[in-house]
Structure 1
Amino acid sequence: MAKWVWICVLIAGFAAMSVWSNVYVSQAPAAGEINSPAGAGSGEPHLSVAPDGRVFLSWLEQASPRGHVLRFSVRGKQGWSMARTVARGSNWFVNAADFPSLIVMPDGSLAAHWLTMISPESEAYNINIVFSRDGGANWTKPIAPHRDGTKRQHGFVSMFPAPDGRLGAIWLDGRKMKDEETGDMSLMYTTIGPDGRPGTETTLDGRTCECCQTSATVTPDGLLAVYRDRSDKEIRDISIVRYTNGRWLPPEPLTKDGWEIDGCPINGPAISSSGSSVAVAWFTAADDKPRVSVLMSRDSGKTFAKPIRIDDGNPAGRVDVVSLPSGGAVASWIERSRQGVQVRLRQIGSSGTPGPSMTVSGTSGATSGGFPRMARSGNDVVIAWTDAGEKPRVRTAVLSVQ
């Protein structure tokens, strides 16, 4: 992992040294910040929306005297609810890029995941998935979606409702790696039923980038998953894999940036859908030119229009995206500006026209912002990010969209 972190620092370095030039004029006001339920020392936020429109925020806090706690809160008309605890432990694998998550299934049950260490020497860790049938008051025993039994990395999980009503999960799986430096990371898929029984494990791609986030969404025509791929020539662009008519199709290249890099940039893509409208956001630094772009589709991801560049000239990536019922989208990313490191948003119209960028909050420090997350409920887009100030804390804001 140290190798990948070092490469990520290099990418941030040449981004900071690039000549500042706004791609679009930034005149929009910042989104309105709302009081966060997360306390001091919190981080690794995740957002999801329930079928009834409620927004769920999950995050990690440090436990006393040691370890970590996974907590969550629900946003209602009066703001965020009192925080509740999912689980706690002293052997968790905690990393700003590989964060826990919580989603709400169509039947109202909750599913959450976190990571636990197997071997600190090799940075091996397992995925733990739990369910709650009573709104988070009680949780089941942890279930691992992978059954390989290897002391390797398993993480970067995306969870979603599978077509048969079971929980679906994709993740990066290191079972084929001989050690941290050799072998191939794979993209895997399985389902878990209401009774806790896991389904068959399926390999979606046998060679992927080692530590970039995955992302998945459900459309009327099936499932879509995006991830950073890895070719034999170390080209690490974005690929897509589709589940339709009861089976997974072979993966296909989604972007053709030609980013050749000998190591993982720790900068995965994001995908979102609203009906048959789909949006994908991603970061690349091909040809030593960092940029953030969005692809949009009107046919459930079967075809995509031309890429739309959305950054302001000096991005660090760490993207997220939410689709809008209008066919447009809102994308977020981290931008390095004269004022410091900032979390920014940009709305893209259904025609593909980008609006002005919006600064959610000015931050400071190389790791500020973490990996901002977004979720849409009605006309509200909720944003969560980690402010790595003197006392790191998860902060939240809301943007009203048309």
Structure 2
Amino acid sequence: MRQHTKMPFATQAAGGCAALLTLAACTGSADVSSDNDLALGTPVPVESPALDTAVLTRSTPHLTLDTSGGVWLSWTERITDSTVRVRVARHDGTRWDSVRTAAARPLFVNWADFPSVLALPNGDLVTHWLEREGSGKYAYGVRVSRSRDAGRSWSAPVSPHTDGLEAEHGFVSMWAEGASDVGLVWLDGRKSAMPDSAREMTIRSAVLGADGALRDEALLDARACDCCQTGTALTGDGRVVVYRDRTAEEIRDIAISRRTSSGWSAPQIVHPDQWHYAGCPVNGPQAASRGDTVVVAWFAAPNDSARVRVVRSVDGGRTFGEPVRVDEGNPMGRVDVELDPDGQPIVSWLEQRTADSSDVLVRRVRFSESGAMASASMAVASTSSARQSGFPRLVATRNGLLAAWTTVKPSLRIQLARIPYTSQNSR
């Protein structure tokens, strides 16, 4: 990820919304108001399995659900200045299983582009991480490894990109492709695709079979934002991928591509923020789906007015309604989104409070034909505003959300909380 492309911008929305009582005050949408019945329950701390005090740091959590309803957490631990290990553990709803090591090597890891874990329908686990592929500052590639025994042992890593060039490859999203194969999408800066690979990235995808063979390599977009996360979801009509686009005029709005019977569709803009920004905001979108309903959450700051929005599609991502703004007026972004049991989105993000501190906030939104309503935002935890606080993650379970985030002081460590779907106060 190119740190030098990140540029400052104002994050205080005009007029502010810190004392927001209804979303209409911040969105300008008269049909959006607060609803106490949407209030989430009080967060309950969950013990972290990342407790090894012998390591230097513990950070970059990622959460995924398996077919039995268990939650897999992955994270990174820095053992020495040059060696990082990827760790995984499973929570069965009551306790964590044994912590296992997926990789321990000189990885390429930073606060925004981090490893993940995926649980496949056949019971296999898959992890990805990044490793350097040359002497260049931004020459690194994706590695994928599989475990067939719940993380006790792992296969030799393979790479989903076949260019063999010293270029950037990262910001991966993975999904199950059938019972045992893995789909991946990533940012790719290979020079064969563009002469100026130091400034532009492509969006590419491939499928990695259980036998380690690659197929269905595809180019989704020839020019995307340099270092924003990708997101993906499965609809009743097929897979969708969301990411931050980049035009020749440096407009960096959120785009979606749908996989159809004839391949990936041409990208379309989810909502025209028209955010002109001559740098990478390091703030990608996330998506969730159920049937033909797709929700996308993202951060943007057009006209120096930062905001976090969520929008819904009811036709598999072909078209979207009007977005709803969920932040309190000074968001840092770093969003995630999940659907509750009724199919309503719950969005998380970081809201800056001071120069050094921010809150992990969540808010539920109810879309309907007559408009949209939302709960009040709820603080899950306080953390730092520094880059090292990373990207809080959510996963939706039967009994509530599980949230994971990184705290910076006194050292980098991972914390978790369970958030019930129902608040006692809303009954």
Most deviating of 155-164 and 374-383: 155-164
Alignment correspondent of 2:390: 370
Q: Of the candidates 78, 82, 105, which is equivalent to residue 89 of structure 1?
A: 105
Aligned-pair identity (%): 38
| 1:347 pairs with 2:359 | no
Alignment correspondent of 1:107: 122
Residue 65 (structure 1) shift: 7.2
What's the secondary structure of 1:287's corresponding residue? helix
Alignment correspondent of 1:2: 3
Label 1:203 to 1:155 Cα distance change in 2 as closer, same or farther (>3 A).
same
| 1:388 pairs with 2:403 | no
Unaligned runs of 5+ in 2: 23-35, 423-427
| TM-score, normalising length: structure 2 | 0.87
Residue 136 (structure 1) shift: 1.0
Alignment correspondent of 2:270: 254
What root-mean-square deviation, in Å, do the aligned CA atoms of Structure 1 and Structure 2 show? Answer: 2.1
What's the secondary structure of 1:363's corresponding residue? strand
* C-alpha separation in 1, matches of 2:93 and 2:270: 39
Q: Of the candidates 296, 310, 314, which is equivalent to residue 312 of structure 2?
A: 296
Residue 214 (structure 1) shift: 0.3
| 1:34 pairs with 2:35 | no
Deviations, residues 159-206 of structure 1 (Å, cap 9, x unaligned):
001258521000000003556634x31000100111110113210001
Question: What letter matches 1:50 in structure 2?
Answer: D
* C-alpha separation in 2, matches of 1:160 and 1:23: 39
For 1:1-400, what aligned pairs fall within 5 Å after superposition? 1-5=2-6, 7=7, 10-11=8-9, 14-15=10-11, 20-22=16-18, 24-25=20-21, 30-39=42-51, 41-64=57-80, 66-90=82-106, 92-162=107-177, 166-176=181-191, 177-178=194-195, 181-182=198-199, 184-245=200-261, 247-337=263-353, 340-351=357-368, 352-367=372-387, 369-400=389-420
Most deviating of 184-193 and 268-277: 268-277
Contact 1:34 1:397 in 2 (8 A): yes
Most deviating of 35-44 and 253-262: 35-44
What's the secondary structure of 1:73's corresponding residue? strand
Deviations, residues 300-347 of structure 1 (Å, cap 9, x unaligned):
223322100000110011100002231211100010126931111001
What's the secondary structure of 2:392's corresponding residue? strand
* C-alpha separation in 1, matches of 2:82 and 2:136: 20
Question: What letter matches 1:250 in structure 2?
Answer: A
What's the secondary structure of 1:200's corresponding residue? strand
Contact 2:69 2:92 in 1 (8 A): no
Deviations, residues 53-109 of structure 1 (Å, cap 9, x unaligned):
11110000012474111001111132222211111102x111111010010111111
* C-alpha separation in 2, matches of 1:124 and 1:268: 21
Label 1:317 to 1:129 Cα distance change in 2 as closer, same or farther (>3 A).
same
Residue 349 (structure 1) shift: 1.8
Question: What letter matches 1:181 in structure 2?
Answer: A
* C-alpha separation in 1, matches of 2:195 and 2:408: 35
What's the secondary structure of 1:3's corresponding residue? helix
Contact 2:12 2:329 in 1 (8 A): no
* C-alpha separation in 1, matches of 2:412 and 2:197: 30
Label 1:324 to 1:302 Cα distance change in 2 as closer, same or farther (>3 A).
farther
Aligned length: 395
Contact 1:129 1:143 in 2 (8 A): yes
Question: What letter matches 2:282 in structure 1?
Answer: I
* C-alpha separation in 2, matches of 1:251 and 1:105: 28
Question: What letter matches 1:21 in structure 2?
Answer: C
Residue 250 (structure 1) shift: 1.1
Residue 118 (structure 1) shift: 2.0
* C-alpha separation in 2, matches of 1:30 and 1:337: 21
Residue 133 (structure 1) shift: 1.1
* C-alpha separation in 1, matches of 2:218 and 2:148: 27
What's the secondary structure of 2:391's corresponding residue? strand
* C-alpha separation in 2, matches of 1:164 and 1:252: 30
Most deviating of 21-30 and 75-84: 21-30
Contact 1:25 1:357 in 2 (8 A): no
Alignment correspondent of 2:25: none
Contact 1:386 1:395 in 2 (8 A): yes
Label 1:17 to 1:328 Cα distance change in 2 as closer, same or farther (>3 A).
closer
Contact 2:225 2:245 in 1 (8 A): yes
Contact 1:30 1:359 in 2 (8 A): no
